Structure 1
Amino acid sequence: MISQVQNSEQINPAQYINLADKIKSFALDLGFDLFGIAPAKKSKSSIAYLKKWLAEGKNADMKWMKKFPERRADPQKLLPGAKSIICLAVNYYTLNSPLIHKDKVRIARYAWCRNYHKIIEKRVKLLKRFIKSLAPDAILKSYVDTGSLLERYYAAQAGLGFIGKNTCLITREFGSYVFLAEIITNLKLPFAKFAGKRSLSHMGALSCGTCNRCIKACPTEALSAPYAIDSRKCIAYLTIESRGKIPRNLKSKISPWIFGCDICQEVCPHNIRAKPTKNTDFALAPILKKLTLKQLSAVKTEEEFKKLLAGTSLIRAKFKGIKNNLMVI
């Protein structure tokens, strides 16, 4: 795809609309399903909310989240001189579930494919190269679910969707089953009319409204209130990020999940519009087509674990974590 890009002279502000169209077209050609542009503005309300959330200890043992919370909602601290944020989303929904599900254990849907970070990072790299070919002086800084940026907030500001009561970004086209990526840039690209505004009226009737299904369905009450998730109780955190033992009072509520959780997404009415991805990169990973509970339980070392699940997101939980999770179900 990148071979089709031709170098051009540096563009001026009057040509930015055309530039944005070219970037969007190329991004879609690369396999991204949604594209939007948000202003690189600081969000004081988001910073205040994050600080309150951290003060309440809802980040659990993720101590790294306490470092420089201000920069998560202030693009200028990530890229001085930033003017725009290119927000991207890709549909990962697939119907072919892992074989291990027949053993009555479950893995979160996002982890069914190969490690999505590497897949998306490769595409983002190609997109950045394309942008530089059009605007050589462009400064670009990208994130794929690994940086300090509040990606769901800025994706909503770019018009990709809205943040639901389950704290997921919910899109009109695919529901919440999307991976996100962002490119912060010094280029002043055109925003949609609604970009940067707190009102999401542009989404029409798309909102949570009075629905509280996700809150009621959460077995551990991690969603104690709309838009407020407590990581200390969240099955996804406990089975992936936590390096300690699962609290005794929550053990009976974890099963059948051994890696992540999709409950708050599965009960969401907006996910009725979820459609299988056409992108083969997000198809069921080869190992998950044949992995059984017996095979996973037989793993004895971290080395065996890494070899068996190489290239998948399950590596994130580490051997000890998966073993702890298997003891709970």
Structure 2
Amino acid sequence: MPNSGKIGRLSVSVNSFVCSKLGTNEMVIDYRRLPISWVSCKGWARQQLIELSTIFFPASCVACGQDIFKDQSQDNRQTGNDIPLCETCRFEVTDLSPRCGCCGLPRPSDISCSLCRKIAQQLGEEKILWQQIFVLGSYQNRLRESVLAGKRPAGEGLVEALSDLLIEQHPAIRDLKLDAVIPVPMYWRKRWKRGTNSANTMARKIASRLGVPYRCDIKQKILARPQKSVSAKMRPANASAKFSGVGRQLAGKRVLVVDDVATTGATLSAITRCLLEINATVVYAAVLARTDEAIGSEDNR
């Protein structure tokens, strides 16, 4: 018989919100699975339920597995944490340094970006096709580890948390008046083999947070060579051959394209071109991580 916790008239199966820590067999509590009735209570009752839940079922950081509130005051414990990341991991995966809103590369906030035109030329375009890009941080250290972990089914919760953090760090995303959020697609055979597509997990989470439709109007039509196996010079052509738009439902719409990593920008550029060809009005991009080198990284796409 499963263990259960009872508070007043609430009866909850503990097994329903126990999960394994990422990369281990250790069992921890995923606080996001706690009953919605626990957080819908008001005032004093809600505070008591949150206090009891953090005592008996301490929430664990989805990145490191530590107590999510280990660096926070008791007041913060009582108000809860909407994103299951501890303060240390939040700091390590977030880059608050100024970045160009167009190419996403680091630059001083008071200096015009000199790399945008160069990147566009290397992508075979007159200018960067997407209107604006939102970046959580640099593709290195803890964020790189988290992105790689998110490429496995066990890492989907981590990808969702990072997606929430991306929106928190870039509240301007909420002001874009988006009509749809779409992921960079993955070829069906690769998706079946891997068991997940982190871009898809991102898109669903971000669409849910923003209250806009999640759509899959771009398909990967062929299983081309992975971007990481192609030279930086050949990546734009390799990416362009992969994708095609489906239907015309996004005509006249404002679209956000999401992916876990951007390196050369070839994949995002190819997706953006497909969307513009099916008459999307404007395309924005959002990624968890951006390599700090404009061209030439061989880590991803």
TM-based fold match above 0.5: no
* TM-score where L is the length of structure 1: 0.28
Name the structure, 1 or 2, with higher relative contact order (CA <8 Å, separation 6+). Answer: 1
Higher helix share: 1
